[in-house]
Amino acid sequence: MKDLDAFFNPKSIAIVGASGDERKPSGVILKNLPAFGYKGKLYPVNPKYETLSGYKCYPSVLNIPDKVDLSIIIIPAPHVPKILSEHAEKGIKNVIISSSGFGETGEEGKKLEKEIKDIAKRAGIRILGPNCLGVIDNHTRFNTFFLPLEKVAKTKQGGLSLLSQSGSFVGFFWDIAPIEDVGVAKIVNYGNRADVGEIELLRYLAEDERTKVVAMYIESVQDGREFIESARFCSQKKPVVAIKAGKFDKGIAAVKSHTGALAGRYEVYKAAFKKGGVIEAFNFLEMYDYSKGLAMQPFAKGNKVLIVTCAGGIGVVMADLAPREGIELPQFPEDLKDRLKKRLPAYYSINNPLDLTGSTTDKEYEMVLEECLVNNPFFDAVVVVAHLAVPGLTKGVFDIIAEKAKKSGRPVVVCSTAGEETIAVKREVEEKGIPVYFTPERAIRVVSALIKRGRSVNSLNTNRATSYVIKNEFIEKAKTIIDDAVPNRDRPLLEDEAKALLKSIGIPVPEHFVAQDKEEAFHAANTIGWPVAMKIVSADILHKSDVGGVKLNIKNRDELYSAFDAMMDDVEKKANNAMIKGVLIEAMVKKGTEIIIGGIRDAQFGPAVMFGLGGIFVELLKDVSFGIAPINMDEAMEMIKQIKGYPLLTGFRGSLPVDIDAIAKTIMTVSELLNGVDDISEIDLNPVIAYPQGLVVVDAKVLLSTNKPPLH
């Protein structure tokens, strides 16, 4: 028996706090269990009763004569610790605590939760909950939910399993499943997650034969890194679809750097999902749609999709949606086009979407699918629009579609309606293994999910060891630089120190020198070569331009001296109590494309790296992507390609294409640096100037874990 089996298929259960009152949760559970189909032994526990609903009732679990596989506790929270100790004494190893009144209520509740955790740990008891509905296993017919069966839908057996923090979410999920014709395997609502949570459950469902797809409702995760690992483990075996709720929670406390400010938790979750191979759904419908599509069809190996339609407009709507969903609708290869031309009426135009018009027939669909799907590997997936209102189409067309899909081994999704018969036809088609969606939007998005699944399978199989680009000795060097510069960790690195650190790990920075006075500044500029940039160096000033602390393009001594005086005046006024270490004199770098690369240490997921285009792209449009460290080459490339402004990096409208490879390597290096040096809490390389060949970091801010935030 596997670790968590007793939660899904217990042979004997106790219900502690059982009641005969069906208006109470404890009464509902007692009534539901046998009604849902539980056939094992059932022991109600409640000192107030001798019998309950025909069962002998026990004053305590200690009085139950047999072994108890699983106990469901539903009594007021303050009594739970004592009762749990009795479970320990009895040797019960698995407990669902349905009762609320724990961590979710405040400090007192948190204490109580800690107490039950400690008891359970000492006794080797596994807890699901508290504050949860528990488990439904639709195949073993086990149901601990206190939702009266007569008030909820009957949901058919199938392959979709749901893990949810929220109980109300699963209530809705359960009721909507039959409307969406989704078969359910297991549902777990783990509530406060004192012990068993999504990390273990994902591993459990990965091995569960009944589960074909795992859907998740996530507000938070137990442990970010472990979550990614278990999601990867599960995704390697079957698709995982997740909804992240609480997207706009200001998870990260006030932070001063750009990267910090842009790192809303949700962005980092997205990156974590990607790393874990998890496909994100944005709403209920998507969750059902994706889960169904992913359970029924193989994933798409690429994003080249063919749309075959009998309804021109529907094809057009799909074509409009395709690019936003990462779908390419390429034209037919010449040979295939010729073959189709010969075999279709002359007035058809052979384009993608392929509009077979309202005068088409089953036979035409058969020919087209045989040619485009079975005989030719060009398209990675096909969306078939088959509207039965077209006179020449019969239900037989779905047999044809199913047969061709199977023969080709590539994914096919159908968009169809059929008037009053809609639901019945849809059911029949889905029984043949082809998912059907009523609207073009839904069909297209499912194809997009199949493509994402293909990508994720691909990246799950790549070797993660390829992520390492900097050697250990570089990490050691970086640590030494920090130790020497800020032994007490009482301030951020100064710009020159941050740049020395970057240089030591192979990231290019402009030549620079810190001067104490005008004379030294002049001397430095002469050595570096004119023109130069001048910047204030102060641990109290993070954003130098804001206080007049940056002067650019200084061409000679006169300009240098007056810039120096003006800077000191300005800084004196705008950052009056800042300690000034000097001015940085630095080579002016050539114009190029401004990008930003940053790093944060996320409370949940640890080191994460951000990438974006500089200037308004970051500040106004928030066009950034995140990756969780360590980041390998593929992941770095994906981060770069993911931003909307990506075309600007590849030579949009005559701009010079930049060195994507160098950017990817810098992202990887920053990820390694964060991973290797715990003391760094935030990095902000803003801007980095990228060129057709190479890049240079023009501004670097490095905050250390124990620093107080800078004043300005």
Ligand X SMILES: Nc1ncnc2c1ncn2[C@@H]1O[C@H](COP(=O)(O)OP(=O)(O)O)[C@@H](O)[C@H]1O
Which residues here bind ligand X, judged by CB under 6 A? 510, 533, 535, 543-545, 550, 552, 586, 588-589, 687, 698-699
What is the Cα–Cα distance from 456 to 235, expressed in whole angstroms? 8
For the CB of residue 529, give the shortest distance to ligand X in the complex, in Å. Answer: 12
Between the two ends of the chain, the Cα-to-Cα distance in Å is 60
What is the Cα–Cα distance from 54 to 36, expressed in whole angstroms? 17
Q: Please report how many Cα atoms fall inside a 13 Å half-sphere around the Cα of residue 438, on the Cβ side.
A: 15
The residues near 306 (Cβ < 8 Å, ≥ 6 apart) are 329, 352, 353, 354, 372, 373, 379, 381, 382, 383
| By CB under 5 A, residue 699 contacts Mg ion | yes
For the CB of residue 698, give the shortest distance to ligand X in the complex, in Å. Answer: 4
What is the Cα–Cα distance from 429 to 50, expressed in whole angstroms? 53
544 binds, among ligand X, Mg ion, none (CB under 5 to 8 A by kind): ligand X
Residue number with CB closer to ligand X (240 or 595): 595
Residue number with CB closer to Mg ion (16 or 542): 542
- The tokens for 665 are 């390597």
For the CB of residue 108, give the shortest distance to Mg ion in the complex, in Å. Answer: 47
Site string for Mg ion, 190-229 (x = CB under 5 A): ----------------------------------------
The residues near 710 (Cβ < 8 Å, ≥ 6 apart) are 256, 491, 492, 539, 540, 541, 542
For the CB of residue 474, give the shortest distance to Mg ion in the complex, in Å. Answer: 24
Q: Do residues 283 and 442 touch, judged by C-beta distance below 8 A?
A: no
CA 174 vs CA 74, 139, 184, 210: distances in Å? 22, 14, 8, 17
What is the Cα–Cα distance from 126 to 149, expressed in whole angstroms? 27
Q: Do residues 625 and 560 touch, judged by C-beta distance below 8 A?
A: no
Instruction: Tell me the DSSP string of 446-513.
Output: HHHHHHHHHHHHHHHTS-GGGG--S-HHHHHHHHHHHHHH-TT--SPBPHHHHHHHHHHTT-----EE
Site for Mg ion in 637-696 (CB under 5 A): 686
For the CB of residue 83, give the shortest distance to ligand X in the complex, in Å. Answer: 59
What is the Cα–Cα distance from 608 to 610, expressed in whole angstroms? 7
698 binds, among Mg ion, ligand X, none (CB under 5 to 8 A by kind): ligand X
For the CB of residue 686, give the shortest distance to Mg ion in the complex, in Å. Answer: 5
Residue number with CB closer to Mg ion (56 or 574): 574
What is the Cα–Cα distance from 159 to 139, expressed in whole angstroms? 10
Residue number with CB closer to Mg ion (674 or 697): 697
Phi, psi of 554 (to 5 degrees): -80, 125
What is the Cα–Cα distance from 239 to 220, expressed in whole angstroms? 20
DSSP state of 625: E
Q: Do residues 679 and 705 touch, judged by C-beta distance below 8 A?
A: yes
Q: Do residues 687 and 595 touch, judged by C-beta distance below 8 A?
A: yes
For the CB of residue 228, give the shortest distance to ligand X in the complex, in Å. Answer: 32
Residue number with CB closer to Mg ion (280 or 699): 699
For the CB of residue 557, give the shortest distance to ligand X in the complex, in Å. Answer: 19
For the CB of residue 699, give the shortest distance to Mg ion in the complex, in Å. Answer: 3
Residue number with CB closer to ligand X (179 or 579): 579
Residue number with CB closer to ligand X (550 or 568): 550
What is the Cα–Cα distance from 155 to 187, expressed in whole angstroms? 12
For the CB of residue 680, give the shortest distance to Mg ion in the complex, in Å. Answer: 18
- The tokens for 399 are 């047999």
602 binds, among Mg ion, ligand X, none (CB under 5 to 8 A by kind): none
Residue number with CB closer to ligand X (92 or 700): 700
Q: Do residues 80 and 73 touch, judged by C-beta distance below 8 A?
A: yes
For the CB of residue 686, give the shortest distance to ligand X in the complex, in Å. Answer: 6
- The tokens for 177 are 């499943």
* Binding residues with Mg ion: total (CB under 5 A): 2
For the CB of residue 585, give the shortest distance to Mg ion in the complex, in Å. Answer: 17
Residue number with CB closer to Mg ion (198 or 699): 699
Residue number with CB closer to ligand X (480 or 545): 545
Residue number with CB closer to Mg ion (137 or 699): 699
What is the Cα–Cα distance from 304 to 367, expressed in whole angstroms? 20
Residue number with CB closer to Mg ion (671 or 686): 686
192 binds, among ligand X, Mg ion, none (CB under 5 to 8 A by kind): none
Q: Please report how many Cα atoms fall inside a 13 Å half-sphere around the Cα of residue 583, on the Cβ side.
A: 29
Q: Do residues 513 and 585 touch, judged by C-beta distance below 8 A?
A: yes
Residues near Mg ion, by CB under 5 A: 686, 699
